[in-house]
Amino acid sequence: MERLNYNRMAGKNLHRLEALADGVFAVAMTLLVLDLKVPAAEAIHSDAGLAAALLALTPKLVTYLMSFLTLGIFWLGQQAQLNLLERSNRDVVWTHIAFLASVCLIPFATALLSEFVEYRLALVFYWVVILLQGLLLALSWKLSRKAGLAKDGLPDGIDRAIYRRILVAQALYAAAAALCVFSNWASIAAIVLLQLNYALAPRIGRFALP
Amino acid sequence: MERLNYNRMAGKNLHRLEALADGVFAVAMTLLVLDLKVPAAEAIHSDAGLAAALLALTPKLVTYLMSFLTLGIFWLGQQAQLNLLERSNRDVVWTHIAFLASVCLIPFATALLSEFVEYRLALVFYWVVILLQGLLLALSWKLSRKAGLAKDGLPDGIDRAIYRRILVAQALYAAAAALCVFSNWASIAAIVLLQLNYALAPRIGRFALP
Amino acid sequence: MERLNYNRMAGKNLHRLEALADGVFAVAMTLLVLDLKVPAAEAIHSDAGLAAALLALTPKLVTYLMSFLTLGIFWLGQQAQLNLLERSNRDVVWTHIAFLASVCLIPFATALLSEFVEYRLALVFYWVVILLQGLLLALSWKLSRKAGLAKDGLPDGIDRAIYRRILVAQALYAAAAALCVFSNWASIAAIVLLQLNYALAPRIGRFALP
Amino acid sequence: MERLNYNRMAGKNLHRLEALADGVFAVAMTLLVLDLKVPAAEAIHSDAGLAAALLALTPKLVTYLMSFLTLGIFWLGQQAQLNLLERSNRDVVWTHIAFLASVCLIPFATALLSEFVEYRLALVFYWVVILLQGLLLALSWKLSRKAGLAKDGLPDGIDRAIYRRILVAQALYAAAAALCVFSNWASIAAIVLLQLNYALAPRIGRFALP
């Protein structure tokens, strides 16, 4: 089989993986909003009542925004890695499928956290999903390098930059999650600030990942 | 990293952003219909009863169509901008992710409006989401220009045309939304007419955006 | 703007429209199954009980399969048309967005029909959505031709073939729907047979559309 | 029509089929998680109570992971076949649409199994969907070969390798499903192990399918 347009196939497979990932992220992003339930009409009799009901949705809106940031960050993180690959193999594809499985857990983890926003366990569960995503991205890069799937001409320090980036991000996530000892809201605020920082000032270290 | 097939990567990233956007819009469009609930079978005993139940869905059907138009218009608006870009950077990508987050709010805003179709606040909420989408598209173009990401050879007045287009559309949306002082239905009718006008006669000013 | 890589842009726009359509069809296909509700666990105490509950789902399964065929047929129909276009314009794109809006109604029409499978109105509603899809595809081709958007070198009789194909299919759908005067199940059987015929022996007339 | 850029069209059609498949798989994967219901807030008054409620979700989590593996395996299986095609025809496309219809049944079969995890019939239903997917992939390859749609230069034993691969996998699935005579959990464990084996050590026989 290797004689058969191998490169074209390999590139095609990468394209398929990207298309699957874009689909999973798009659905996960949109499903987040399904958790924003429209208030029950029976209980509401005025604009003021509706305003109160919408204000009561604020915790859900905050967790919605946090999860949208989470999904955006990991969508970009996966994209940055896939951009550096020339082709893929089964191990790498399966690591990415496992990564997508953890991405699919984000809407559940978000709904859990917004329903039990005062419960430490809900916060820890959310953090475990983030940890899992980081671990799987790191594993996927390790497997890609081991199998020589990366493009030629990558700069020397690229591996260290990628691992450090994941490590630093996960250390900050863990620190933010640890704040739940004091209060879940402190954790959530720290995670949101951390992610806004990544979104608004994403350059870390010498390499500006694409 | 810039030496590494930068242009190919940049184009690929644009393609990924487009794929994510197509996915989000596709899911959001389809989710709109989830709000069209099939009438409960127990309460209905004849074709006439079913006809009455379907007629009672008319407000939901109108808001469904309005939101489909909204999504179509902003899908085309984002597409027009992305078509003018040669490549993207993180700031622009994040502005578009924020834009997609506001797109994902449309099904919720639609469900809210169709449930509380007489409540001014529901109409204002819907309008705020539209306003947000317009602001984020304008911001995204501003950032793209500042970072020199647009294609070469764009006509001179293109920036003014883009901003004016957004400004005019948002001014008309705001005027339509303001009609809710009289009646939400007046607002909805004005928004639908305004959007049909965009869909059916989209040429405004000198530049016919693609 | 027309000087700016117009063909590339136009092709890109066609690609975006196709990507949006693939997304909408994929979500609509998958949403169909959401109507297959898992039986309530409380009422079931044995494999025999579960078998009875699954058998009771048969009407829903039949309408699910019918709608999957419907979506497959119109996905192919739209694809055949878009394959013949060199580029698109706003009118054509909006006709296709309207077509996608009617596609999004299929899960609702399916749920309605499977819930009210004995009610003539539910069958008529389903048929109206099919009629709408046919009309919008015909309109879209008419607008494409009027604006000269088709590829060069199309065979002479292509227009007649496309319109006749839509006309014949819609006439058969209308005849099948009219059987609901006798029984909805007669209509459903006729529609399923008709669609299986299209799926299994799709060549009609001189032109085998791609 | 065959004179009209037939190859380009055929390739485009393959691309559309892949895009539809990626969309269906992405939505099906994400919908799996919708079955993971957040525990009801009223019944829970402490982190310990939430932990107990999450532990009670374990069966659902196991079936979720099993189905994610199922979807990943069949996504790769379909991809491997489509990679070997130069173009498609209607029969092949319709076989793949039927395949996607069976893919869409996976979330339902998963929900059924996780709700009735002790019921043999639920396990058998799940297995029937897997069997259907295998049969449709085999049929699709048979039709592709009969119509001469495969790429040139495929190695001699490719057909035998493809059919044997499907046969072996389906025989193992059937054996795993047969374990439900003893216990559904034995079946589920066997299926998960079997799938992990495919995911982690996918090379079977002489040909490592792409």
How many Cα atoms occupy the beta-carbon half-sphere of D10 within 13 Å?
A: 18
Chain A and chain B share a number of CB contacts under 8 A equal to: 95
**Radius of gyration over every alpha carbon of chain C, rounded to an integer in angstroms:** 20
**Radius of gyration over every alpha carbon of chain B, rounded to an integer in angstroms:** 20
Chains near A with 3+ CB pairs less than 8 A apart are B, C, D
Question: Which residues of chain B register pLDDT less than 70?
Answer: 1-12, 201-210
Report the b/e string of A14-39 with b at 16+ CB within 10 A: bbbbbbbbbbbbbbbbbbbbbbbebb
Contact criterion met (CB below 8 Å) for A115 and A179: no
To the nearest 5 percent, what fractions of chain C are helix, strand and coil? 75, 0, 20
State phi, psi for C85 to the nearest 5 degrees. Answer: -90, 145
The residue extents of the domains of chain C are: 6-200
Question: Smallest CA–CA separation between C75 and chain A, in Å?
Answer: 18
Strand segments (E) across A31-153: none
Distance between CA atoms of residues D77 and D79, nearest Å: 5
Query: Would the CB atoms of A47 and B121 count as touching at under 8 Å?
Result: yes
Nearest to C90 among B31, B75, B202 (CB): B202
Question: Smallest CA–CA separation between C73 and chain D, in Å?
Answer: 9
In a mutational test of the C interface, the residue from B22, B75, B207 whose CB has the highest number of chain C CBs within 10 Å is B22
Chain B and chain C share a number of CB contacts under 8 A equal to: 94
Query: Would the CB atoms of B208 and C20 count as touching at under 8 Å?
Result: no
State phi, psi for A61 to the nearest 5 degrees. Answer: -65, -40
Question: Smallest CA–CA separation between C199 and chain D, in Å?
Answer: 6
Chain B and chain D share a number of CB contacts under 8 A equal to: 4
Residues of D in contact with C68 (CB under 8 A): 97, 101, 104
Question: Smallest CA–CA separation between D172 and chain B, in Å?
Answer: 36
Q: For residue A26, what is the nearest residue in chain C, using CA coordinates?
A: C23
Query: Would the CB atoms of B26 and D26 count as touching at under 8 Å?
Result: no
Is C18 in CB contact (< 8 Å) with chain D?
Answer: yes
Averaged pLDDT for residues D150-157: 88
Q: For residue C46, what is the nearest residue in chain D, using CA coordinates?
A: D119
C-alpha distance from residue B154 to each of B78, B89, B92, B157, C7 (Å) = 17, 19, 19, 8, 15
Query: Would the CB atoms of A26 and B27 count as touching at under 8 Å?
Result: yes
Is A19 in CB contact (< 8 Å) with chain C?
Answer: no
pLDDT at B198: 83
pLDDT at B45: 87
Nearest to A116 among D50, D65, D207 (CB): D50
Distance between CA atoms of residues A165 and B190, nearest Å: 50
| pLDDT 10s digits, D37-82 | 888 888 888 889 999 999 988 888 888 999 999 999 999 999 999 9
pLDDT band at D157; cut points 50, 70, 90: confident
Query: What is chain C's pLDDT, residue by residue, as a tens digit (210 residues)?
Result: 444 444 445 556 889 999 999 999 999 999 998 888 888 888 888 889 999 999 988 888 888 999 999 999 999 999 999 999 998 888 899 999 999 999 999 999 999 999 898 899 999 999 999 999 999 999 999 999 999 999 988 888 899 989 999 999 999 999 999 999 999 999 999 999 999 888 876 444 434 433
Q: For residue D97, what is the nearest residue in chain C, using CA coordinates?
A: C72
Q: Is C96 exposed, middle or buried (0-12, 13-18, 19+ CB in 10 A)?
A: buried
Tokens of D53: 């409620």
Q: For residue D22, what is the nearest residue in chain B, using CA coordinates?
A: B23
ipTM score assigned to the predicted complex: 0.88
Q: Is the dihedral of CA D105, D107, D111, D117 positive or negative?
A: positive
Distance between CA atoms of residues A38 and B31, nearest Å: 14
C-alpha distance from residue A59 to each of A37, A64, B101 (Å) = 12, 8, 17
